[in-house]
Chains A and B, each alone.
Chain A
Amino acid sequence: MPFSWLVLIILAIAAAGYVLGRKRALNSASGDRRNLHSLPSYYGAHAAMWAVVPATAVLLVWMLAQPFFVNARVLASLPDTVVAEGSSIGLVMSDIRRVADGLDEAVRQGAMTRTQAAALDTDTTDVRDVLGGVGVALGSGVSADVLSGAQLYRVLNSTATNLMSSLVVLIALGGAAYGYSKSHADFRARNTVERGILALLIFAASIAILTTIGILFALLFNTIEFFKLYPARDFFFGTNWAPSFSGRGGASDLGVLPLLWGTFYISFIALLVAVPIGLFSAIYLSEYAGPRVRGIAKPLIEILAGIPTIVYGLFALLTVGPLLVSMFGKDTLGWMQGGTAVITAGLVMGIMLIPFVSSLSDDIINAVPQSLRDGSYGLGATQSETIRQVILPAALPGIVGAILLAASRAIGETMIVVLGAGAAARLSMNPFDAMTTITAKIVSQLTGDADFASPEALVAFALGMTLFVLTLGLNIFALYIVRKYREQYD
């Protein structure tokens, strides 16, 4: 039974439960809804809730558990000799899955019947040919072990799915019946339903925590896996980044320092562009500009924040890079070899961060109370003196926090550096050199064709962990600074 049918059946049971539960409650109150504890719809909702929630929970848990169970059973059935030299158990399993999917496809297209598929034998038929005929391409011939594994896989899966469907439908029916039996005029249906809704709300709110746990687990497990294959010392203190490509063999140098250096250098240049421009815009907009100029200039600058980063990346690669080459390239000054360089990425990233710095600082400057300004003017200070000597010191913690947040944004930025910064990892002071960053290398290591179990691919998770810790640290530090040094004006 397909999954969507199962869902529809559960929903139908819930709908029936709703109608019946509502009716029974009304009947028990002899048709007068004023005798009920709750509104009639709550009795219906109560029955429907009992039909849906337990059944869905079982369905989800079963669907998560089934692959593990089936895999374990299939693995146990395989002889030890099935894993050939240079292969791994994971590859054999994926072969088995592919053959099983191919058999499913063949049955679906009518190339063979269910019994034929179950009785297939490598001695009498070439499975690869048969599956090729229905459009499932297999890399190599199918061994007898893999075929029997695939057949077991199919049998187990179909039994488990059938079992699951009947169990889930039974639970849904049972739940609906329970909810129905509870429907009575004295039953506090609203309270029960509202408790259920509250549980749902709590679950939704907890998804944020689940996401964080997911991120941590994804990063942590693979990072540990990586450090088993590659020494942590060489990763954290290595000054050379030279991954060997898969298949070519040879040891890779996976030192993170050149990437960290590139990341920080580019972020530094970005802040060098964004902080003065952003801060001065914020000062002008909040202190000098009249409502009309502010009403036009502020949204215009904030457009820069709404532009997707891929646009900035393309802008760096195709517009700013060639422009900088024409200014500093070999035809004029000879400083720049190619369009992708630290300065290209840094400049464009700076443009991206201007609205980030300016709108955060704007809020903070506006939060400085007017009485401070008035006091300063009263002492005879000019507007700029007031800003420099009164407002900026008062707003400083907030501004530092904003700059730190901008820095964390810069460190985590991906598209601009992937397109604009180049691919060479090097430790150099020259801003016209191409360098690369943590984020750019995460992309290149995971989008290549490296095997997921190799250190060359797993290093991306260690890089991701570094990035996660760095940005999280910066954010927490920014919050700490703002909290600790914030002036209270009330």
Chain B
Amino acid sequence: MTDASMSPDSAAPKSGLATIDARTRKRNAAEKRFRLYGMAAIGVGLLFLVFLFTSILRSGLPAFTQTVLNIEFVLTSEQFDTAESKMMKTGEYQNIFVAALQDQLEASGLEVAFDSKSIERIVGKPGGTIRRFFLENPDRIGTPVSFELAASSRVDGYFNGRVTRDTIVDSRFLMAADLDLVDALHDAGIIHGAFNWNFITGTDSGVDNPGGAGLGASVIGSFFMMLVVLFLSLPIGVAASIYLEEFAPKNRWTDLIEVNISNLAAVPSIVFGILGLAVFIQFAGMPQSAPLVGGLVLTLMTLPTIIISTRASLAAVPPSIRDAALGVGASKMQSVFHHVLPLAMPGILTGTIIGLAQALGETAPLLLIGMVGFVAREYPEGFVSGFTDANSAMPAQIYTWASRADPGFYEKAWGGIIILLLFLITMNAIAVVLRRRFERRW
């Protein structure tokens, strides 16, 4: 850098590639520092990502397991007859159950004192389930039957570490003393963890039963919403893009449309919720909390995304294709629909899937159209009622769980997020594969 012959002062310390002077050292240090800032920024960003995903997985995975109490016993026909003749039929079954439990514990050599009440706190009231089973299957009386009963959410929490011996407060839900019994049952292999299918296929439970809450109904709600979004936003978005990219003359109206689309892309999602509430529900009288309304709102929201990506993939088709089509006598419309559109299709589909993934995770507009106050206890009855009956949607259901008082629901909310993210990852992966396989570089 500094050449000796250029230096006016020959007495100045000689510096060059071999000897580094103080100023160069300072500059190099500054360089190194700057580079480090950049690496640190990326590191912090990635750290946040890792932190986010570990906390999702750590808190959410327990929602997929459930503590069950597995017990096998024989109900003799005498026992069945006595129980059926009693006034409190289910209570009698419960006593039989407790006795069987006692036997099984003793068989494994564990002595713990317990009563019917503590059993109720651990597995609820098992009598009803047992009675129903034997009434439906009378031929199983007298043969060994194994029952799998879901433990209460507090017991679940005990195994997940949410409830510990130190933090437990005696209540009608679970006493600290019951934990001894739970431990004993666990050691005897009677209580163990199992995969919680109900969480994936079940419907939402009431506010006091986090253990029975499932995401199934809201997945269906989201599915119907996505159907609406797909079947409205894809044709409308593609039609609008074709017009703007291929036909629109340069005039005020076109400018207005373009400005509108770019502005809509930046409008906060909650404003779309207000639009849905005021226009679709209040003005047009559509049903509240219906996937149809949610789908309409999300359609309006995803349209700009789809239009922007569709226009990009239409513009990527080289003009020579259009010229060739026009040259052999196709009309402008034919050249677009027969040649340009099929070539742009992979890009359009990729953009649509990404738009759908965005819409799937969107929550704020759904809050305003009433998807949160609604408890999705039932699956929709049929195809049409899937659109019009009140239902929840995945993100709305997660929000509902997150705002309930019982911390047992928090675990469900995290579990719901895992399922939601799985859907999103799948959709994005499909988009990436589509792009890799079909995208043509011209």
How near does chain B come to A476, taking the closest CB pair, in angstroms? 8
Judged by a CB distance under 8 angstroms, whether A252 is at the interface is no
* Alpha-carbon gap, A319 to B370, bound state (A): 27
Judged by a CB distance under 8 angstroms, whether B376 is at the interface is no
Query: Which chain A residues (377-415) contact chain B, with CB distance < 8 Å?
Result: 380, 382-385, 387-388, 405, 408-409, 411-415
Judged by a CB distance under 8 angstroms, whether A475 is at the interface is yes
Number of contacting residues on B, CB 8 A? 84
Contact with B along A460-482 (1 / 0, CB 8 A): 11001001100110010000000
Judged by a CB distance under 8 angstroms, whether A250 is at the interface is no
Judged by a CB distance under 8 angstroms, whether A447 is at the interface is yes
Tell which of A19-27, A141-149, A295-303 binds the partner: A295-303
Interface pair B271/A464, CB less than 8 Å apart: yes
Judged by a CB distance under 8 angstroms, whether A308 is at the interface is yes
Interface pair B46/A311, CB less than 8 Å apart: no
Contacts A310-B361, A314-B413 given: A439-B268 contact, CB under 8 Å? yes
Q: Which residue of B lies closest to A470 (CB)?
A: B268
Judged by a CB distance under 8 angstroms, whether A211 is at the interface is yes
How near does chain B come to A217, taking the closest CB pair, in angstroms? 8
How near does chain B come to A102, taking the closest CB pair, in angstroms? 16
Interface pair B414/A318, CB less than 8 Å apart: yes
Interface pair A301/B399, CB less than 8 Å apart: no
* Alpha-carbon gap, A456 to B48, bound state (A): 39
Judged by a CB distance under 8 angstroms, whether A197 is at the interface is yes
Dominant SS at the A interface? helix
Judged by a CB distance under 8 angstroms, whether A452 is at the interface is yes
Q: Which residue of A lies closest to B236 (CB)?
A: A204
Interface pair A310/B395, CB less than 8 Å apart: yes
Interface pair B243/A204, CB less than 8 Å apart: yes
Judged by a CB distance under 8 angstroms, whether B170 is at the interface is no
Judged by a CB distance under 8 angstroms, whether A328 is at the interface is no
How near does chain B come to A271, taking the closest CB pair, in angstroms? 15
Most buried by A among B52, B237, B399: B52
Interface pair A201/B240, CB less than 8 Å apart: yes
Judged by a CB distance under 8 angstroms, whether B110 is at the interface is no
Judged by a CB distance under 8 angstroms, whether B34 is at the interface is yes
How near does chain A come to B121, taking the closest CB pair, in angstroms? 26
Contacts A205-B243, A310-B361 given: A281-B270 contact, CB under 8 Å? no
How near does chain B come to A56, taking the closest CB pair, in angstroms? 15
How near does chain A come to B132, taking the closest CB pair, in angstroms? 26
Interface pair B357/A306, CB less than 8 Å apart: yes
Interface pair B42/A208, CB less than 8 Å apart: no
With A310-B363, A384-B31 already in contact, 16 other A-B pairs whose C-beta atoms are closer than 8 Å? A208-B307, A211-B303, A221-B278, A283-B38, A284-B35, A284-B39, A287-B38, A301-B46, A306-B428, A311-B417, A313-B399, A385-B30, A408-B266, A443-B368, A446-B277, A464-B271
Q: Name 7 A/B residue pairs within 8 A (Cβ), A-sorted.
A: A201-B239, A278-B45, A313-B402, A315-B56, A383-B31, A442-B270, A464-B270
Interface residues of B (CB under 8 A from A): 1, 27-28, 30-31, 33-35, 37-42, 44-46, 48-49, 52, 55-56, 59, 235-237, 239-240, 242-244, 247-248, 256-257, 260-261, 263-264, 266-272, 274-275, 277-279, 282, 285, 300, 303-304, 307, 331-333, 357, 360-364, 367-368, 370, 372-373, 395, 398-399, 402-403, 410, 413-414, 417, 420-421, 424, 428
